[in-house]
Amino acid sequence: MKYVSTRGQAPALEFEDVVLTGLASDGGLYVPQSIPEFSKEEIASWAGLSYQELALKIMSPFVAGSIPEADLKDLIDRSYATFRHDAIVPLVQTGHNEWIMELFQGPTLAFKDIALQFLGNLLDYVLKKRDQKVVIMGATSGDTGSAAIEGCRHCDNVDIFILHPYQRVSEVQRRQMTTVIENNVHNIAMKGNFDDCQNLVKTSFADQSFLPEGRQLAAVNSINWARIMAQIVYYFYCGLALGAPSRPVSFSVPTGNFGDIFAGYIAKRMGLPVDQLVIATNSNDILHRCISDNDHSKKALEHTLSPSMDIMVSSNFERMLFELHGRDGAKVAQLMEDFKSGEMTLGEAELAEARKLFSSYRLDDDAMVDVIRDVYEKTEYLLDPHTAIGVEAARKTRRSKDVPMICLATAHPAKFPEAVKKAGQTEDPALPHHMADLFEREEKYEVLDHDAEAVRSFVAGNCRA
C-alpha cells in the first residue's frame, strides 16, 4: 500500500515512512492511494470476533508490504492489553436504539488511547528495526497529550514534547500529562490557545533545522495516518455488535480536529453500511457552519467546558476536502491557501456531497450542561461534556429511529468535573482506582510564551544524546 499527499506534490510513500514523516513535504496530509473495500459477506463473517481479531482484519490492507501479519498481530495484542474492559469499546444503551460507545477504557480515560497505545508500539517497532531515533512534537487540546505520553513513555528511541494551551485544559487533563516523570517526556504549557500550539508544531515540521543532527520530527497528532487507521476499527466493531452489515448504523461524533469522524467516513467507504455521520460541535462551530451554511471562516476561539473541541483549524478536514474534490491535490492546495487568509468556500457540488455524507449540530455550554443533567436523571448514566454534545446532536439530527444511533463517548466524566458539577452533581466523579492518587503526584512542566524560537530551543536542548 502506497500513500499520497492531499496536496499532490509530495512523493508517494510506504506505510512505515508515512508513520515517521507526519506532514508531507508539500504541507499536505498522507492518505492511502486507494481505500480497501470489503464485501457484505466478508464483513458478516467477522461477527463475534474479538476487538483485537477484528483490528487485524481492518488494519492489514493498510500495512500490506510493510509489516508481516504476525508482527502486526503482536502490536495489536500488546496495545489493547492495557485496557480495563475486555470489549475494549463496550456499548451502553441510553435510549430507544440509542447507544453510547465507551472509548475511554484505556489508561488515560480518553478515546485517544485507542490509537495512541497502538501508535506508541508501532513507533517502537519501526525505530528499532531501522536503528533510528525521533523527536515527537505534538499539540493537544486536552486528551491527545496524555495518551501520546502514555503510549511513548517507554520507547527507547523517542523523545516526546507535548504542547498544551496554558490554563486551557482541565486539571485532570494537565496532571495526566505532567505527572509522568520520565527522562524522555517533556510538557510545555504554551501561552495561547490550541490552534497556536498546533500551528507551531506544523511550522516546526516544515523546517526541522533546529533539531540535533540525525534527528527528525514524528507526529502523534491525528495528522499521522496510523491514528486514523486504528480508529476505523471501532466503527466496525460496534456496527457489527448492533446488526451490521444486514442493517445500517449511524454515528454521532464529538468533533474537533476531524480525525475521529474521518475514520467513520473511511469505514463507510470500506463497506460498513453507515446511514448517518453526525458532526457534533461546541461553540467553536466552524465545521457545523461549513456544512450548514458553507461558512468555513475563522472566528475568535472560545474557551468552553468541552476543551478538547476548542479548535478552529480542523487539520483532518483537509483529508475530507481531498475526497470531496475527486482527489485533486492542486485544488486542495488552493483551498488551504484561501483558508490561510481566513475564509474558504466549497463549490455547490462539493457542498451537496458533504451534506449527503454528514449531518451537523452545534451546542453551547449551557445546553450541554442540560443534556448531562437530563441523561443522568433518566438513566443514571453520567456523560462527559463532549459526549453530551454528541448525544444531543444525534437526537436533533436523527433521521430514523429504526437505525441504531451510536454516540461516541470520547472521555470519562472524571476528566471534566467542572461541567459535571454545573449539571447538578454534588461531588466530583471518581477517578478509576489506577488514577486515584493523581492529585498527589509530582508535576513537571515548562510554561513558555507563544514564541516559536523559545519553544524550539527548549526542544533542541532537551533531546537525549
Maximum distance among all Cα pairs of the chain, rounded to whole angstroms: 59
> In this predicted model, what pLDDT tens digit does every residue of 335-360 receive, in sequence order?
999 998 878 999 999 999 999 999 99
Q: At 300, is the pLDDT very low, low, confident or very high (cuts 50, 70, 90)?
A: very high
- 245 preceded by cis ω (within 30°)? yes
- The end-to-end CA distance of the chain, in Å, is 34
Residue with cell 430507544: 96
Does pLDDT of 276 surpass 90?
A: yes
Whether residue 314 contacts residue 282, with contact meaning beta carbons closer than 8 Å, is answered with no
Does pLDDT of 109 surpass 90?
A: yes
β-sheet with 91-95: strand ranges across: 91-95, 98-102, 405-409, 249-254, 274-281, 358-362
What phi and psi, each to the nearest 5 degrees, are found at residue 2?
-100, 160
Domain at 87-110+225-422: CATH code: 3.40.50.1100
Domain ranges across the chain: 87-110+225-422
pLDDT of residue 222: 85
Catalytic residue, chosen from 2, 112, 331, 415, is 112
Question: Mean of the pLDDT values across residues 9-21?
Answer: 95
> In this predicted model, what pLDDT tens digit does every residue of 25-84 receive, in sequence order?
999 999 999 999 999 999 999 999 999 999 999 999 999 999 999 999 999 999 999 999
Best mean pLDDT range from 195-209, 303-317, 390-404, 421-435: 390-404
Of 100-109, 142-151, 317-326, 400-409, the one with minimum mean pLDDT is: 142-151
- Which amino acid would we find at residue 234? Y
Does pLDDT of 220 surpass 90?
A: no
What phi and psi, each to the nearest 5 degrees, are found at residue 310?
-80, 75
Percent of the chain with pLDDT over 70: 100
What phi and psi, each to the nearest 5 degrees, are found at residue 224?
-80, 120
Is 73 part of the annotated catalytic residue set? no
> In this predicted model, what pLDDT tens digit does every residue of 114-145 receive, in sequence order?
999 999 999 999 999 999 999 999 999 878 89
Residue with cell 449527503: 356
> In this predicted model, what pLDDT tens digit does every residue of 169-207 receive, in sequence order?
999 999 999 999 999 999 999 999 999 999 999 899 989
Whether residue 84 contacts residue 114, with contact meaning beta carbons closer than 8 Å, is answered with no
